[in-house]
Amino acid sequence: MADESKKMTSFLRGAELIKKRLPSLPMLPGVYRMLDKDGRVLYVGKAKNLRKRVTNYTQFERLSARIQLMVSLTEDLIVITTNSEAEAFLLENDLIKNLKPHFNILLRDDKTFPHILITEDEEWPQILKHRGTKKRKGTYFGPFASVLAVNQTLKILQKAFLLRSCSDAVFASRIRPCLLYQIKQCSGPCAGKISFDDYAKTVTEAKAFMKGKSSEIQHELGKEMARLSAEQKYEEAAVIRDRIKALNLVQSHAVIDIATEAAIDIIAAYIEGDMACVQVFFIRSGFNCGNHAYFHIGTEGLGEADIIEAFIGQFYQTHDKPEEIVVSHKLTGEKEIAEALNVKINDNPKSVRKRLLENALLNAKEALARHKIEKAADDRIHGELAELIGLKTPLQRIEVYDNSHIQGTNAVGAMIVASPEGFKKSAYRRFNISGEDVTPGDDYGMMREVLTRRLSRGLKEGDLPDLIIVDGGKGQMSIAAEVFSALEVDTDKVKLLGVAKGENRNAGDETLILASGERVKLPLDSPLLFYIQRLRDEAHRFAIGSHRNRREKAMFTNRLDDIPGIGAKRKKALLEHFGSARAAAEASLNELLTVEGISENIAKKVYTYFHPYA
């Protein structure tokens, strides 16, 4: 009873503050922010009429427990008027993305979806998998919901159109066709096995196919195969036949009976208890490019439409906007969202779209059921881990560290981050080992530098993990303890755990080392042991990948980038001509003079750099 009274008192105080601000609020569209006593943003919202919308926060009985708590914490209110509701929608989601308010529905999304790209910035275009920003000129197809889906489609498209997938450097250096030509996944343009005009034609066909004109392409290929057969050019006809088979394979696996070249996203939401799942299906030019599920916690007082609206606002800030979005529930701000994003919102689909939406809704329901089971298991594991390391508060952030190098060269430290929601790949960090006091190959020195850099910054910014796991035994733990002591890290709030490999380095034979020095052996079938192994293996994978990238970059940079007068264009010309930096380094002066764009003066500079005593 006392708690309820205290809760009401806190709410009334926050509501009274809001009431005092109401007369000064405009009756215009805009965005409002609720702030706590420390100036932190609690909530960001939009409104068609700011005064009318904010008034709702003073009516206790109409608010969910979550929003009642937000009002009780509110100490200030900031509003920004906009010219329209659509503009308010964009501003709201931009602020949510940057400020990440505690009481907003937040999309935890660090995933970038892969595409298939046909390049347009070179004479002989490539077909390849692309991830990230679309800086390169070309035709993009996707997004694909998984790497597996894009790899399977890419492999089939290579068989269907025989476009090259090799890098420019490899392409420029080849004289004979590679294995892909032998297995009929490339037409061999590097070795002159296809004319420029015929290759350009297949590029055009591939782009048309990716735009949904599959029947036209297959019809033309069928006519071409018949003509070649009539002329008794059976080998050439067989190549066309294989291409048609590959196209049929793509269609049988991915094509949907939907007569449109448009990009369509199907979005369905399902809520159960305090958790929600949003399922997104990507349909591009009649192709099903896969689906992905997103989960939300703390949905009390919210409906599916609220979840979808928040999801759309945040998702399309960083992902491609389709031409049409099919939604499972009618949205309150549907008109404003459509105007802001310049898309069509369809909440009453028919025929194929309706069947796709029903499938997406079923997938959302099933995915949420699986997720709740997995989360319950994860919560138990995190509880066991917190108990093992003596942490009294729930684990929210775990950081795992590993190093990678070859005989001390191109040394890299790696940090991966995990939370109750899984791996947070956007928070992963690489540390190029640069300390002058670190001896090449000194793993202890590398760990000291990495932890010192990370924890120094974390102490300064107030951003520290709950647990740090180091891949190593007593020695690595000693180094970590020294860094903690030197930086005066609070060991009650930040815990340490070492993972030492067994004598034969067998999985399951690991020994856990606590900060106290106590050694713990978990049973071979322990879910907690499996979880710690997974964290350690992910750190190891990331460290090796980071080291490999640095090594390859060093091999590339050390040979050409340090030569005076050699910029990006000349470097590219040398690589395209010789195929690799090593080949350019071994070239004679006369050979360098034959490279287009390389003058006699530059050729002498390059030759002298690699042959200083010649």
Which tens digits make up the pLDDT trace of 570-586? 877 887 777 767 778 78
Residues 6+ apart with CB under 8 A from 479: 444, 447, 448, 451
Q: 46-60, 374-388, 454-468, 573-587: which range is least confident on average?
A: 573-587
Tokens of 295: 């989960």
Topology of the domain covering 561-610: DNA polymerase; domain 1 (1.10.150)
Mean pLDDT value across residues 311-337: 91
Q: For residue 567, what pLDDT is reported? A: 76
Q: Considering the entire predicted model, what is its pTM?
A: 0.72
Of 338, 327, 326, 313, give the one whose Cα is nearest residue 270. Answer: 327
Q: Percent of the chain, pLDDT > 90?
A: 24
**563 or 493, which is more confident:** 493
Q: For residue 102, what pLDDT is reported? A: 86
Of 446, 427, 435, 268, give the one whose Cα is nearest residue 359. Answer: 268
Mean pLDDT of the chain: 84
Distance of alpha carbon 411 from alpha carbon 442, whole angstroms: 10
Statement: residue 151 has pLDDT above 60: yes
Of 341, 304, 303, 302, give the one whose Cα is nearest residue 325. Answer: 341
Q: How many CA atoms lie within 13 A of 236 on its CB side?
A: 15
- The enclosing H or E element of 355 equals helix 351-389
pLDDT in tens, 200-217: 988 988 888 877 776 677
pLDDT band at 170 (very low <50, low <70, confident <90, very high): confident
pLDDT in tens, 33-88: 999 988 899 999 999 999 999 999 888 888 888 888 888 999 899 999 999 888 99
- Give the domain ranges of the chain: 2-99, 115-254, 263-370, 398-553, 561-610
Cα–Cα distance list, 345 to 106, 145, 294, 336, 338 (Å) = 22, 21, 20, 10, 6
**220 or 150, which is more confident:** 150
Distance of alpha carbon 163 from alpha carbon 140, whole angstroms: 15
Q: What are φ and ψ of residue 516, in 5° steps? A: -75, -10
Neighbours of 52 (CB within 10 A): 12
Tokens of 215: 């029947």
Quick check: do 2-99 and 398-553 share a fold? no
For domain 398-553, the CATH architecture is: 2-Layer Sandwich (3.30)
| β partners of residue 164 | 126
pLDDT band at 557 (very low <50, low <70, confident <90, very high): low
Q: What are φ and ψ of residue 86, in 5° steps? A: -60, -40
Neighbours of 175 (CB within 10 A): 7
Statement: residue 559 has pLDDT above 80: no
Tokens of 185: 């996944």
The distance from CA 594 to its chain's CA centroid, rounded to whole angstroms, is: 43
Q: For residue 507, what pLDDT is reported? A: 59
Q: 102-116, 240-254, 410-424: which range is least confident on average?
A: 240-254
Mean pLDDT value across residues 407-412: 61
Statement: residue 134 has pLDDT above 70: yes
Query: 202-208: long-range contacts (C-beta < 8 A, 24 or more apart)?
Result: 202/161, 202/162, 202/163, 203/118, 203/125, 203/161, 203/163, 205/161, 206/118, 206/127, 206/157, 206/160, 206/161, 206/163, 207/118, 207/139
pLDDT band at 504 (very low <50, low <70, confident <90, very high): low
Q: For residue 556, what pLDDT is reported? A: 47
2-99 domain in CATH 3.40.1440.10?
Answer: yes
pLDDT band at 232 (very low <50, low <70, confident <90, very high): confident
Contact status, residue 279 vs residue 291, Cβ threshold 8 Å? yes
**382 or 568, which is more confident:** 382
Mean pLDDT value across residues 470-494: 89
* Amino acid occupying residue 65: A
Q: For residue 267, what pLDDT is reported? A: 96
Q: 4-18, 225-239, 249-263, 423-437: which range is least confident on average?
A: 249-263
CATH class, 263-370 region = alpha beta
Contact status, residue 186 vs residue 164, Cβ threshold 8 Å? yes
The distance from CA 608 to its chain's CA centroid, rounded to whole angstroms, is: 44
Residues 6+ apart with CB under 8 A from 122: 168
DSSP 449-487: HHHHHHHHHHHHHT---SEEEEESSHHHHHHHHHHHHHH
